[in-house]
Amino acid sequence: MNLNYQILRRLPPPLHFWLLKQSNRIKLSRVERVPCDPSALIKGVTPELIRNLLVSSTYDAEWETLHAEIETLKGAIGPSSVNYGENRALYILIRHFNAHSALEVGTHVGGSTVHMVAALKANSTPERAPRMVTVDIVDQNTPASLARRLGIATPLEKIEHFGASDWTQFIQQPSLGYLAETKEKFDFIFLDGDHAASVVYRELPAALERLNPGGVIMLHDYYPDGKALFSDHKITAGPWLAAKRLQREGAQFRIIPLGSLPWPTKLGSTTTVLAMVVHTSLQ
Ligand SMILES: C[S@@+](CC[C@H](N)C(=O)[O-])C[C@H]1O[C@@H](n2cnc3c(N)ncnc32)[C@H](O)[C@@H]1O
């Protein structure tokens, strides 16, 4: 823990997060311009379409069954994990957009991983096999892993429970390295790794390169206008700052924050920091 952090954590939360935002801005300004081609992104998606999808009861029954099954693994949520409402939204989005392959950046305790895997499995057909890749700088499946320490199933145990180990790959590597090296393309990409603006600014264009035509990219920790959304005053400004710079530089994408979900999320609210990246074209 360095001295700056020691000072920062003693400050009132609004000032603490404001300073972090400014630091993010400065570090982002030092990154060279990156080309960004959003042509693979899904078109014709509006906030209304997403809202209607999330409030519909189409997936309610299968969700309840899935949730009960995940609970038998002693849950899927650790500190900094995607929460209940957000996992439910991710599940529905993958089901609705009929994704057959997905990439996740940020495995952590495998909370979002297992929900994504379950949705891919439900979408699979004899003609189209599912495929999941999840990337983290840390090996999250060791005996010393966070999941183990929390007393919940490791990410690998979770996906084994769903019979998905043959088609799920764990990669231990920084996302930028993996995205630069891989030749694979995906229908659905979820970015929940390093949230620094300087990283997301490079990660989003790299993810767009690995997206199948008509694919979906979801961001976590997207705080619109860099403003706090919860009672803890926390702001993770990186994804918003990165997206704003790419848009300013002419990238034709739009960000749709999911806003409020029909289910509980965190700190007694229904607010989510999930956001969908879509093409600006509505056709
Ligand atoms: C917020 S957690 C992800 C939570 C996870 N999606 C869940 O629901 O349990 C962020 C994770 O990203 C990983 N991470 C941080 N920087 C990364 C990077 N550059 N590339 C890949 N993973 C990274 C961290 O080790 C951490 O496990």
Residue 8 has which token pair? Answer: 């920062």
Please name the residue that has the structure tokens 């014709």: 44
Helix or strand run (H / E) with residue 262: none
Mutate which of 137, 170, 179 to test ligand 1's pocket (most atoms within 8 Å of Cβ)?
137
Residue 179 near residue 205, CB atoms below 8 Å: no
> What is the CA(154)–ligand 1 centre distance, in A?
14
> What is the CA(95)–ligand 1 centre distance, in A?
23
Condensed to tens digits (0 to 9), the pLDDT of residues 97-134 reads 999 999 999 999 999 999 999 999 999 999 999 999 99
192 lines ligand 1 (CB under 6 A): yes
174 lines ligand 1 (CB under 6 A): yes
> What is the CA(213)–ligand 1 centre distance, in A?
26
* pLDDT score for 1: 46
Compute the distance between CA of residue 109 and CA of residue 225 in angstroms, rounded to an integer. Answer: 29
Report the predicted TM-score, pTM, of the whole model to 2 decimal places.
Answer: 0.96
* pLDDT score for 267: 95
Judge: domain 3-279, CATH 3.10.290.10: no
Q: 216: which strand partners?
A: 188
> Residue ranges of the domains in the chain?
3-279
